[in-house]
Amino acid sequence: MRRTDEIVAYRADAALVGDEVVENVGLDIRSDGSIAAVRPNAGAGERIAGLVVPGLANVHSHAFQRAMAGLAERAGPEGDNFWRWREVMYRFLAVLTPDDVQAIAAQLYLECLQHGYTAVAEFHYLHNAPDGAAYTDPAELSRRVAAAAAQAGMGLTLLPVLYRQGGFGGQPPVPGQRRFLLTPDRYAALVQTMASDVAVGIAPHSLRAVTPDDLQSAIALADSLGSDTPIHIHIAEQTAEVADCLAWSGARPVQWLLDHAAVDRRWCLIHATHIDNTERARMAASGAIAGLCQTTEANLGDGIFPLRPYLAEGGRFGVGSDSNVSTSPIEELRWLEYVRRLESRARNVTETRQGASVATSLLTRAARGGAQALGRHAGEIAPGRRADLVVLNTEHPALAGRRGTALLDAWVFSGNSTPVRDVMVDGRWVLRDGLHAQSPAIGAAFARTMRRLADAL
């Protein structure tokens, strides 16, 4: 049993506290994984060399897709698009075994830690065997994801997904979707089973994949688990989805959701790419998190989320690796800014207070928003928060000679090799000096799976 009254005192060269980089900071970490105290002018304590920043929560991941990165990058017939990518994805997962799922997720989570993510919301919809039958243990694949997170030392909020139909208005699922399907009863049983082991949230896949009744039952299930249970949903990612929703209901997806559910700070709306001004303002006012997955949205040709006006309206966001074509939160943040620069032909656009650091602003917002979306009391270096911490090597070529928030400007906007040297999740070091104790085992299992898949596909 971990005792709450044991404290380890650290002395960091520097730490990001609020929006400021403060030098010589004392960090007291309780053995229950929480931060007991943050003190300027640290005295004694074990030295942490470098800059300590809050770890980022990855608000949206489909772990298995890490193993298909690069497999859908050949030109298709005219009008190649998201929906053809999805067919490739369905074919890919037809051959995936429980061992594969665990091996891929462990490798993914390890890479994510190495780039500065400290927790993940795993949007997990792969429940059944390839023929659609339940596994002997219906929670088999959820347990594999949880085991992978435990092996990697990644903080986890597991989001078992409810998936019921092939499209708006009760369209039957296609054969490629049978691994996803659960009845509401089986879904509730799965969520309850997993809730005894790990932090869970609720995830109706999308308005395409659940009926209004299914959505209400999922929300009721979230309520029954506690008033702060996260609820995540894919929404308005593709224009075809907006058109289909309009045809089905007369409303746009986000508008429909806001009209039919009490969307509040428990909610994370994944993508929400295609929103009009009214939807945007209502979403910002709701306190919900926009789950932005910039690199995947670019890869899939989704469209551009209206980030600048949304932020001006007080909207909150987190970043997600989604299809895992990138496992770096820095790449997400960099491209959140770059896409708007390309769009507006201007510079430093997501933060407009003169002289303010764009990187610091993006990083602190994403850390806070991500923690909120995962229902994790983290995302800031402050007393009472969980110690999910990332230590940057300030001697790394990307950061050398920089001080204060200029270190963060350099981290977000320069270079490609990661200056992340140490990572602490929930008060425990999982990466030290760039080394992870499980890395050889995780890498070997992943390589085995990738070789097997290359033969099977």
Using CB atoms within 10 Å of the CB of residue 279, give its burial: 0 to 12 exposed, 13 to 18 middle, 19+ buried. Answer: buried
* 234 contacts ligand NGQ (rule: CB under 6 A): yes
**436 is an active site residue:** no
State the binding partner of 237 from ligand NGQ, Zn ion, none, CB within 5 to 8 A by kind.
Answer: ligand NGQ
* Helix, strand, coil in percent for the chain, rounding step 5: 40, 25, 40
Residue closest to 16 by CA, chosen among 415, 409, 430: 409
* 91 contacts ligand NGQ (rule: CB under 6 A): no
Q: Whole-angstrom Cα distance, residue 169 to residue 280? A: 25
164 or 436, CB closer to ligand NGQ? 164
114 or 206, CB closer to ligand NGQ? 206
State the binding partner of 283 from Zn ion, ligand NGQ, none, CB within 5 to 8 A by kind.
Answer: none
The catalytic residue among 115, 124, 205, 271 is 271
**Candidate list 214, 237, 244, 422; residue touching ligand NGQ; CB under 6 A:** 237
* Residues from 151 through 210 that contact Zn ion (CB under 5 A): none
* 62 contacts ligand NGQ (rule: CB under 6 A): yes
**234 is an active site residue:** no
Q: Please state the closest distance from residue 166 (CB atom) to Zn ion, in A.
A: 17
Q: What is the CA radius of gyration of the chain?
A: 21
What DSSP string describes 48-59? EEEEEEEPEEEE
Site of tokens 């919301």 = 121
The catalytic residue among 214, 302, 322, 426 is 322
CA 315-321-326 angle, 5° bins: 130
Partners of 40 in the beta sheet?
A: 25
- Strand, coil or helix: 182: coil
Residue closest to 203 by CA, chosen among 171, 226, 174, 235: 235
Reported as type and span, the H/E element at residue 422 is: strand 420-425
Q: Please state the closest distance from residue 171 (CB atom) to ligand NGQ, in A.
A: 12
Q: Please state the closest distance from residue 271 (CB atom) to Zn ion, in A.
A: 8
Specify the stretch interacting with Zn ion by CB under 5 A; choose among 297-305, 321-329, 343-351, 372-380.
321-329
* 402 contacts ligand NGQ (rule: CB under 6 A): no
State the binding partner of 296 from Zn ion, ligand NGQ, none, CB within 5 to 8 A by kind.
Answer: ligand NGQ
Give the CB-nearest residue to ligand NGQ: 62
Residue closest to 72 by CA, chosen among 300, 224, 319: 300
CA distances in angstroms from 309 to 71, 209, 401, listed in the order given: 35, 29, 35
42 or 59, CB closer to ligand NGQ? 59
**Candidate list 322, 332, 380, 388; residue touching ligand NGQ; CB under 6 A:** 322
* 86 contacts ligand NGQ (rule: CB under 6 A): yes
Q: Where are the beta strands (DSSP E) in 238-277?
A: 267-271
- Strand, coil or helix: 269: strand
165 or 206, CB closer to ligand NGQ? 206
Residue numbers at the binding site for ligand NGQ (CB under 6 A): 62, 86, 206, 234, 237, 296, 300, 322-323
Which residues of this protein are in contact with Zn ion, per CB under 5 A? 322
Q: What residues are labeled active site?
A: 271, 322
